[in-house]
Amino acid sequence: MKRLFLNISMLATIAIGGNGCAKFLDEKPLTEVETNKYFKSAKDITAAMAGVYASFQQEMTGAGSGSTWGKYVFWGEARGDNYDRTQYNFAHAVEIASNGLSSSNAAANWSGLYRTIGRANNCIKYIPQVPQFDRTATKQVIDGNLAQSYAMRAMCYFWIVRIWGDAPIWLEPYTDVAEEPNRAREKAEDIYTKVIIPDLLKAYDLIPKTATPSQWHIGEGAICAMLADVYMTRKDPDNAMVWFNNLFKAKAPSGKVFTGQSAADLVPQADWKKVFLNANTNENIWSIHWDFTVNGCACLPNSLYHSNSPLQIDSAVMTDWQAIQATDFRARQTVDFAASLRDRMQKYYAVPATGTIDWGAAKTKELPVYLVMYRLTDMMLLYAEAANQKDDMATALKWLNIVRTRAGLPAFLEGADTLSTKAKMENLLLNERRWELFGEGKRWFDLVRTGKAIEVMDPVLRRRQTRQWVPIVGWEGGTDKLLWPIHRTLIENNPLLKQNFPYN
């Protein structure tokens, strides 16, 4: 008999819509659960979906595959210019900061994303059978959970293709030990056209429209944001515009329609910090929650770590932050300028009335973290980028200024030399995204999407290499090094995998 393989941590019953998640258990051998004994009730759906979200949040926030804390930061930030290594000898951080990645790097492992894909595959295949066993599993329940499963699978593949390029495709549960477990890599383009985009379109068809979503689950707005992000990454602003506009018609967790046409659609400056806390604001689209009481320390490598942080804010960036702190309120809310080290980013933590977090207290490691995956200002600035690509610089300027003036900065004036070309506007938008979305896992992907990665990183790497007394090579390897190597254990375990050049 074929059997459905589920990690035992997936079976913990957790209420969808709550703020917590079951403590993710240590890795155990897979337990076989016969299909006729599982996915037979609405509660089974809830438990299975909790397993999907738990797997994703563990990979992004906790000690995911490779025992590397906070891959969200390593993948989306650390390869860029926002962060540098610290004085501590964390090998994986040293490699990332110097563009010297190896196949032994702890963050080069995609197995946690495939674990999440596997759980989503289980849900996609077996959730539709539940109504025959449980009448409370209504069409709305089935469609809503299938939509989240398709979207999560697409999201994981989206991270994979941006980090490693070509990759194996799994769209069915692995249910039979006799089945060949190894697959070769397929072209990144095929993953986009055969998996990511179809999955997201299917998710959008299934998800309830104009419903008020939970901040912690993938709703209508989150699916639209994903599609807009995917199409912008593929340099297709026309299709991206379709999904920006669909997003702006959806509702925020606060119940307000996003709209996104003026500063009034954003939270006021005084409430900006709430976007990163448990607040369900007008700006939140989708966040993931890590609660110490059930998950342990959310030891983000750019703020809190077990003992010594592997990453710190780059010295040049810190100088820039200090220069604008008097006018740009985001600086004071993002960085702790009173700290003696540059590894104290306070964006994701509630700052006490004293204005300073006691970083030395053990209790700081017990603080919850609500990592933002998508929020409205992210999409507004990306919309402006799409408008600029379509030669509509007036619209790009409008949306740029909405975000900029909320930060306390003067608006850019139409006709200024700094706005005279598409290239100059793109640079302004890229810079604004840097400050608004600092530490949110966006910077590296912004640099790659706009073709700026090597241009921006070459002088940064040369400066770092001069300081470290190593041979000065800048961005060595050209565009091939924009991708990560595949972890050596994956290559060893799957002879069909071919390593990315130039890591082979």
Mean pLDDT, residues 350-356 taken together: 73
Phi, psi angles (nearest 5°) of residue 345: -85, 120
pLDDT at residue 372, rounded to an integer: 94
The pLDDT value given to residue 304: 66
User: Phi/psi of residue 100, each to 5°?
Assistant: -115, 45
Mean predicted confidence (pLDDT) in 42-48 = 96
- At 84, phi and psi to the nearest 5? -130, 165
Q: What is the pLDDT of residue 19?
A: 36
Q: What angle, rounded to 10 degrees, do the helices at 376-389 and 237-249 form?
A: 150
pLDDT at 398 over 60: yes
Selected residue with higher pLDDT from 196 and 62 = 196
Domains of the chain: 248-288+325-450 (1.25.40.390)
φ/ψ (deg, to 5) at 4:
-90, 120
Whether the per-residue pLDDT at 26 is higher than 80: the answer is: no
Q: What is the DSSP string of 36-103?
A: GGSS-SHHHHHHHHHHHHHHHHHHHTSB-TTS-B-HHHIIIIITSSSEEE-SS--HHHHHHHTT---T
Contact in structure between 311 and 342 (CB atoms under 8 Å): no
Sign of the CA dihedral with 469 first, then 471, 475, and 481 last? negative
Q: What is the pLDDT of residue 343?
A: 77
Q: Say if residue 396's pLDDT is above 90.
A: yes
Other C-beta atoms within 10 Å of 503: how many? 19
Output the pLDDT for position 27. Answer: 30
Average pLDDT over residues 132-157: 97
More confident residue, 323 or 177: 323
Residue among 250, 268, 272 nearest 260 (CA) = 250
Helices (H), 342-452: 376-389, 393-406, 422-436, 443-449
Q: In this structure, are residues 33 and 9 in contact, taking their beta carbons and an 8 Å threshold?
A: no
* Averaged pLDDT for residues 361-373: 80
Question: The pTM is what?
Answer: 0.91
Q: Tell me if residue 147 falls in helix, strand or coil.
A: helix
Mean pLDDT of 280-305: 83
301 band by pLDDT with thresholds 50, 70 and 90: confident
79-133 pLDDT per residue, tens:
999 999 888 878 888 899 888 899 999 999 999 999 999 999 999 999 999 999 9
Which tens digits make up the pLDDT trace of 442-463?
999 999 999 999 999 999 998 8
Q: Which residues of 235-265 are buried (b: 16+ CB within 10 A; e: fewer)?
A: eebebbbebbebbbebbbbbeeebebeeeeb
Q: Are 12 and 22 in contact (CB under 8 A)?
A: yes
| Host H or E run for residue 197 | helix 197-206
User: Rounded to an integer, what distance in angstroms lies between the CA atom of residue 294 and that of residue 284?
Assistant: 23
If you average pLDDT over every residue of the chain, what do you get? 87
Q: For residue 341, is pLDDT > 80?
A: no
Residue 437's pLDDT is 97
Residue 35 scores a pLDDT above 60: no
Tens-place pLDDT, residues 201-210: 999 999 999 9
User: For residue 168, what are its two tokens?
Assistant: 């194996």
User: What pLDDT was estimated at residue 12?
Assistant: 35
pLDDT value at residue 34: 61
Q: Are 292 and 367 in contact (CB under 8 A)?
A: yes
Is the pLDDT higher at 331 or at 189?
A: 189
Is a pLDDT exceeding 80 seen at residue 476?
no
More confident residue, 435 or 7: 435
| Measured distance CA(484)–CA(480) in Å, rounded | 9
For the cut 50, the answer to whether the pLDDT of residue 10 exceeds it is no
Is the pLDDT reported for residue 4 higher than 50?
A: no
Span 405-420, average pLDDT:
87
pLDDT at site 23: 32
Mean pLDDT to the nearest integer, 353-381: 83
- Which residues are within 8 A (CB) of 460 and not within 5 positions of it... i.e. 6 or more apart? 81, 314, 316
* pLDDT value of position 253: 95
* Better-scored residue on pLDDT, 479 or 66: 479
* pLDDT at residue number 257: 97
Query: In angstroms, rounded to a whole number, what is the distance separating the alpha carbons of residues 449 and 492?
Result: 31
Report d(CA 225, CA 239) in Å as an integer.
Answer: 12
Point out the least confidently predicted range of 34-43, 48-57, 230-239: 34-43
42-60 helix and 111-126 helix, angle to the nearest 10 degrees: 160
Judge contact between 345 and 73, C-beta under 8 A: no
What percentage of residues in the chain have a pLDDT greater than 90? 63
What average pLDDT does range 422-447 have in this prediction?
A: 96
143-152 pLDDT, tens digit each: 999 999 999 9
Average pLDDT (39-47) is: 95
Rg (CA), the chain: 22
Residues 6+ apart with CB under 8 A from 344: 303, 335, 336, 357, 359
- Using DSSP's 3-state secondary structure scheme, residue 340 falls into coil
Does the pLDDT of residue 13 top 60, yes or no?
A: no
pLDDT given at position 307: 63
| Separation of alpha carbons 173 and 380, rounded Å | 37
CA distance 275 to 215: 10
* Residue 199, pLDDT above cutoff 70: yes
Range from 95-99, 144-148, 317-321, 465-469 carrying the lowest mean pLDDT: 465-469
319 touches 242 (CB < 8 A): no
Sequence-distant (≥ 6) Cβ neighbours of residue 373 within 8 angstroms? 222, 285, 286, 287, 288, 441
- Is 135 exposed, middle or buried (CB count within 10 Å of its CB: 0-12, 13-18, 19+)? exposed
pLDDT tens profile 247-259? 999 999 999 999 9
Residue 336 in 3-state DSSP?
coil
